[in-house]
Amino acid sequence: MRIAADIFTIVAILTGAFFFLAGTVGLLRFPDTLTRLHALTKADNLGLGLVVLGLLPQSNSVFAGLKMILVWLLVLLASATVSQLIARAARRDGPPS
Amino acid sequence: MSDALHLALIALLLALAFWTVVARETFAAVAGFVSYGLLLTLAWVALSAVDVALTEAAIGAGLTGALLIGAASRLRKTEAAARTEWPGRATRVLAAIVASAVAAAIAACVLLLPDPAPTLAPEVAQNLASTGVGNPITAVLMSFRAMDTMLEAIVLLFGLIAIWSLASDRYWGGRPGLAPVYEPNGILAYLARVLPPIGIVVGIYILWVGADYPGGKFQGGTVLAAMWLLLMMSGLHDAPAVSRRWVRLVLIGGPAVFILVGVLGVFVANAFLAYPAGFAKPLIIVIEVALLPSLAVTLTLLLIGPPQRSESPP
């Protein structure tokens, strides 16, 4: 049981790390603000979700696990809002560069 | 954390610090500074100093970062003009030498510390029980070195008075910051409706767990201040005129309670800020709870700047 949980953790966190890497590559390689935002917000939210999911079997209490899920939800809310605000500022300041 | 991760963290910190120093644009330098603060938070966690990590994230990166972003956006208009009057090469080389010397002196002090470094940790651990709190950091801040914490809270008030004194005579005592623009269907207004209930609970929770785990009034107060700032930025709520009586009362309430408890100690425990035996924990909680709103309002008003509008809405 312990080993199964550990394997699950490793696989989930590695997948999460892959999404973070993909998001970062997108940030560096995509041509303009809007596409870079797209890469970052989508990939990083999923990556963080997978990391949290992977850490859940390792948490000592249900309360600690719930706190991690809450952190993920708050990051989702914050990054969705901030990406909207950045996108609006980018559109207002003229053609994306 | 393994050595490889530590080394990677140190390398990143050094690289980011260097980049922040050489960045040409003020705004880019601020962005570097905020990322540097967040990385530093990780470094403190790696050193098992979670209390310091929380403070670094909340105040070092968050609050200071927000202050610097505000300063950078005000400087933006004059930045190009300022660049034309850059100091000469000699001045810059001299500044670099002096700054490097200071850094070298600090590094030497840290490296030349006796091994093991002098520490008061065993004494704190021994006397922790007498304070009634479980978190040694809170015991040091609120009992053994309560004087430092009191002066820290008071110095923030002085900072706020200094900022207010930058207001022009016309707007003295008026509302701080620019008039908010309210967009009822904007995404910021939506966030300002959804987030504060959660943020207020989190802020009070951070204060409450501070007695036994990492946390406390400064970190909790920063979260509360962020929620209030969000309400102001979204336009759902306007900043109060700083001459309002309730604003002044909340600002001085926390420090006043701290000083009162300290003076009480002179009469019942024979020393300023000494707690009578058995009453340490309740008194610490009274001070912390009184300081939370004061700190939250002080930090918010520090960030929002000097009064720029008259009391009545135009």
CA-closest candidate to residue B139, choices B152, B150, B129: B129
Query: Cα–Cα distance between B48 and B57 in angstroms, integer?
Result: 15
CA distance, residue A44 to nearest chain B CA (Å): 16
* pLDDT computed for residue B80 by the predictor: 78
Token pair for B7: 């080394």
Pairwise pLDDT comparison (A97 vs B32), residue with the higher score: B32
* pLDDT computed for residue A97 by the predictor: 47
* pLDDT computed for residue B116 by the predictor: 80
Supply the DSSP symbol for B210.
Answer: T
CA distance, residue B128 to nearest chain A CA (Å): 26
Q: How confident is the model at residue A95 (pLDDT cuts 50, 70, 90)?
A: low
Q: Which of residues 63-82 of A touch B (CB under 8 A)?
A: 74, 77-78, 81
The answer to whether A85 contacts chain B (CB < 8 Å) is: yes
Query: Cα–Cα distance between A15 and A3 in angstroms, integer?
Result: 18
What is the DSSP pairing of strand B175-176 with strand B307-309?
Answer: antiparallel
Contact list in A for residue B195 (CB cut-off 8 A) is 77
Q: How confident is the model at residue A20 (pLDDT cuts 50, 70, 90)?
A: very high
SS3 B275: coil
Question: Does A77 sit within 8 Å of B190, measured CB to CB?
Answer: no
Q: What is the model's pTM?
A: 0.87
* pLDDT computed for residue B256 by the predictor: 94
pLDDT tens track of chain B, all 314 residues? 578 889 999 999 999 999 998 888 888 999 999 999 999 999 999 988 888 999 899 888 888 999 999 888 888 888 777 777 778 889 989 999 999 999 999 999 988 888 787 788 888 888 888 877 888 888 888 888 888 989 999 999 999 999 999 888 888 888 888 777 788 888 889 999 999 999 999 999 999 988 888 888 889 999 999 999 999 988 888 888 888 999 999 999 999 999 999 999 888 888 888 888 778 888 888 999 999 999 999 999 999 888 888 876 54
B194 vs A77, A85, A88: nearest CB = A77
Q: Classify the complex by whether its ipTM is higher than 0.90, answering yes or no.
A: no
pLDDT tens column, B33-76: 999 999 999 999 998 888 899 989 988 888 899 999 988 888 88
pLDDT tens column, A22-59: 999 998 999 888 888 888 888 889 999 999 999 999 88
B233 conformational bin, left if phi > 0, alpha if psi -120 to 50, beta if neither: alpha
* Residue B242 neighbours by CB under 8 Å, 6+ apart: B164, B173, B174, B175, B176, B301, B307
Query: Cα–Cα distance between B154 and B102 in angstroms, integer?
Result: 29
- If one counts every other C-beta atom within 10 angstroms of the C-beta of residue B156, the result is 21
Question: Does A85 sit within 8 Å of B187, measured CB to CB?
Answer: yes
B202 close to A78: Cβ distance less than 8 angstroms: no
* pLDDT computed for residue B184 by the predictor: 81
Nearest residue in A to B191, CA atom: A81
Question: Does A77 sit within 8 Å of B188, measured CB to CB?
Answer: no
Question: Does A84 sit within 8 Å of B187, measured CB to CB?
Answer: yes
